Amino acid sequence: MRAIPPFCRFGLLALLGPLVACGEPDPPADEPGVASLPLASAPIATGETTLVSGPGDTLRLSALAPENGRQLLVRTQSGDSRDSTAVVIDVATKAPLESFRLAATAEGDTVTAQIEYGGGFEGQARLTLTSGDDTRGENLRTPPPALDAGQLPLTLTALSFDQVDSLHFNYVAPFEQDALAARLLVGPPETLRTGGVSLAARSVLLQVSGLEERYWLAERPPHAILRLEEITRARTWTRAEPPAP
């Protein structure tokens, strides 16, 4: 398995180390030059956001400071399902450049998936899967616009609400070994009550291959993450400390 690049490795050691131990939407266009997603060109706001579920599981979303036009986004989940992802994105376009995911199986083993975007045959992504002593690699088509599953929902904090009410993209799911047609539906402005505070918010519904998740983001940019509802899994994550109104 190819070594994790230094930029990724730093983030994993600093932020993921404790976990290592332990109707279908229409597909997007499939040609170069397809319109990019309406995302702000500024970096994702740095810092860590913590969300908690009813059973007490924890979901941490971290964005590190940009470096040489690249930014590392880290997503770690602890509790019944331990799952960690580090994704390096292009600061301006938010396109994924490389990702590394580690998940614990029900038997207590770990499975990892690494993607090098553009590193495969004829510019395809190169996917490497490792489980125990078994390692295998394959090329993966990721036609633009594409987002790595691990960079959500942090990347959505850069979404321009006034430019779109729905959009299509390719959702790159490493363990499914595919880039799946996905759709985002942006809801109208609403008031979300959380942590005893009323906040102006927008909901963004993700639909991909039978999976549905709804994100509530602050109306005012940068759109802080307020709540995540995993509709398919019947689980809701709420921000531990709501931002000021």
Residue-wise pLDDT for 112-142, tens only, equals 999 999 999 999 999 999 998 899 999 999 9
Q: Three-state SS for 85?
A: strand
pLDDT single digits (tens) 77-102:
987 667 899 999 999 999 999 999 99
Q: What is the pLDDT of residues 201-237, one digit of tens each?
A: 999 999 999 899 999 999 988 899 999 999 998 999 9
Predicted TM-score of the model (pTM): 0.85
- 146 touches 172 (CB < 8 A): yes
| Closest by Cα among 118, 58, 64, 121 to 87 | 64
Rounded Cα distance, 182 and 212, in Å = 10
In three-state secondary structure terms, 10 is: helix
Q: What is the separation of C-alpha 162 from the centre of its chain, rounded to a whole number of angstroms? A: 22
Residue 75: closest CA among 141, 144, 149, 145:
149
